[in-house]
Every structure is written in structure tokens, then in C-alpha cells.
Amino acid sequence: MRSLHAALFLAVLGLYQTVQAAGEPDLTLQFVGTQHPSSFPPLIWLHVTNRAYTPLDLMDMMVSSELLIDGKSFPRLSTSFGGRPGIPPAGDWEGCLSTEDYAPPITPGKHQVSLKMGGTRSNMAEIRWPAPVDWRKGDMATRLKEVRDLASALKKGLPRPCVEQWLTVKDGGEQTPHQVRYYLEPQIKVVVPYSQAGDLGNEDEVVSGPVKVYQEVRLQD
């Protein structure tokens, strides 16, 4: 009888632990950025999968998240989060995070980075962090070079909110459907095509093709 009770206890405990584990999301982390040092810092491209049968409070988990760099923890300082507030059961979310939200003193060089949310931790990603660059110390040629480098980093499938952490100003005038024209100083335009991505909630637009860079004065609305 005792062995039966013990077996039942272990079975219930295993089921409880399975349910607990199922409540934690899957986190997949990678860095996205330019191939060469530039004034556009790398971003964390995060994919969150809710494996539970109940909604995931993404806002709460994100605000209480920690960035782990070379084994050292940096709690999130920013309480704002531009992504969706929650993920439905068996749903997904993709977006980008800035390391500035955690304010770690990342020095130029190679680092090991992961993200902790609740009781789960993402994969470990390696980043060779670049030294900061002030584009104003260069000329038009160097500025165009770094913007074209950024355009190459805007790969197909990258969520639009990630792009708009770098490209923050839309050009004036009439915009072409299914693509957005951005303006960067001095007199540089970046045209990014987008398409619907499916089940990414309110962040369902992603880069859908090659990005165009050219010189032109800013249009006014």
C-alpha cells in the first residue's frame, strides 16, 4: 500500500511539475545590427512562445525581466514597453529590445548575453559589441555607408517596430502602399517594404524585401 501511495504521489508531483513548466514561455534571442561599427546600436531580437493554455502577461514579465551579460544580471530599468500587453494561449510574439532599457555598462568586445523572464531563461547569444560612433564626425560618404550597412541588416521577417527603433522619422508627402519612406540626416531616404506576418498580434508587419537607400531633401507634409 505504501508503495502504491508513493507511486501516486510521484505521479501527481510529476504532473504538477509538468504543468508548472508548461506555464513558462520559450525565449529565443538573437542580435540584429550592422556588420560594421555605426551610430545604430545592435538590438535584441526576441521571440516569445506561450506554451501554456492560459494567456501570458507579457507586459508584467517584460518589466520584471533581467538581462544577463557574461553571467552578471542587470534588471530592466524602463517600465515602458511598446509591445503587446499579453500573448494568447499557444501564441507567439516577436519584437526587439534595446540594451539601454537595462543600462548595462557593455564595453566594446565579445560578450555572452541571455534574457531571463519569470522562471525561464533564453538561449545564450554571443555579441561582439561595437565602440560607439558619432556619424556627425564623418562626411556624407561615411554617413551613406553606415545607412546602407543598416539597410543590409533589415532582413526579411524583421518586425516593423524593430526597424523603427532605428528609423524614427517618416518622410513627408505621399507614401507608397505597403512600404514606408523614412528620413535620416543629412538628406538621406530609406524605403522599407512591409507585409503582414500572420499571428504576431498588433506587431504583424515585417520587412518583406530589399531596402532602398538614396539621397534627397526631406519632403514636408
pLDDT of 112 > 90? The answer is yes
Write out pLDDT tens, residues 83-103: 888 999 989 999 999 999 998
Q: Residue 111 pLDDT more than 70? A: yes
| Ranges 27-36, 112-121, 134-143, 199-208: which has the least confidence | 199-208
Q: Do the beta carbons of residue 156 and residue 112 sit within 8 Å? A: no
**Which pLDDT value is given to residue 202?**
43
- The H or E element spanning position 151 is helix 140-153
**CA–CA distances in Å: residue 17 to residues 22, 30, 61, 117, 118:** 8, 29, 20, 18, 16
Amino acid at 207: V
Is a pLDDT exceeding 80 seen at residue 2?
Answer: no
- Percent of the chain residues past pLDDT 90, beyond the cut: 73
Work out the average pLDDT over 184-196: 96
Question: What average pLDDT does the structure give for the chain?
Answer: 87
Which pLDDT band holds residue 13 (cuts at 50, 70, 90)?
very low
Cα dihedral 192→152→115→23 (10° resolution): 50
Q: Which helix (H) or strand (E) holds 67?
A: strand 66-69
In this prediction, residue 163 has a pLDDT band, given cuts at 50, 70 and 90, of very high
Length of the chain: 221
Please determine, for residue 48, whether its predicted confidence score (pLDDT) is greater than 90. Answer: yes
Angstrom distances, CA of residue 9 to CA of 3, 21, 98:
10, 18, 45
Residue 25 has pLDDT above 70, yes or no: yes
> Above 60 in pLDDT, residue 4?
no
Closest CA to 110 of 92, 126, 90: 126
Residue 18: what pLDDT? 39
Instruction: Tell me the three state secondary structure of residue 161.
Output: helix
Label the pairing between strands 66-69 and 72-75. antiparallel
Q: Tell which CATH classification among 2.40.50.140, 2.60.40.2970, 3.65.10.10, 2.40.110.10 matches the domain 1-133.
A: 2.60.40.2970
Which residues of the chain form CATH 2.60.40.2970? 1-133
Going by C-beta distance under 8 Å and a sequence separation of 6 or more, which residues neighbour residue 197?
A: 157, 159, 204, 205, 206
Helix H or strand E encompassing 68: strand 66-69
Tell me the pLDDT tens digit for each residue of 193-210. Answer: 999 876 544 457 999 999
Residue 79: pLDDT band (50, 70, 90) is: confident
User: What distance lies between CA 58 and its chain's CA centroid?
Assistant: 14
Q: What is the pTM for the complete model shown? A: 0.84
Distances (CA, A) of 103 to 77, 129, 203: 7, 14, 25
